[in-house]
Amino acid sequence: MISPLVYLKHVREEFTHVVWPTNRTALAHTLVVVFIAIVIAALVGVLDYLFGVVVSRVTGV
């Protein structure tokens, strides 16, 4: 079993190999994710409304 200190040393060494995105890239990717989340939320909301209308008409409520 590896000691926690050796493990953390290895983790620190691995972090030197990570290629971190620039601020511009991180912002662009964040905006893409937020946009896609808003589109999906709107789509689910519209489908929920439409299914609610259909169920209301079928059940007569």
Q: What is the pLDDT of residues 3-19, one digit of tens each?
A: 999 999 999 999 999 99
Q: What is the pLDDT of residues 16-40, one digit of tens each?
A: 999 999 999 999 999 999 999 999 9
Under the banding of pLDDT at 50, 70 and 90, the label for residue 60 is confident
Q: What are the residue ranges spanned by the domains of the chain?
A: 21-61
Residue 48 three-state SS: helix
Under the banding of pLDDT at 50, 70 and 90, the label for residue 44 is very high
Is the pLDDT confidence value at 1 over 90?
no
Distances (CA, A) of 56 to 42, 49, 50, 53, 59: 21, 10, 10, 5, 5
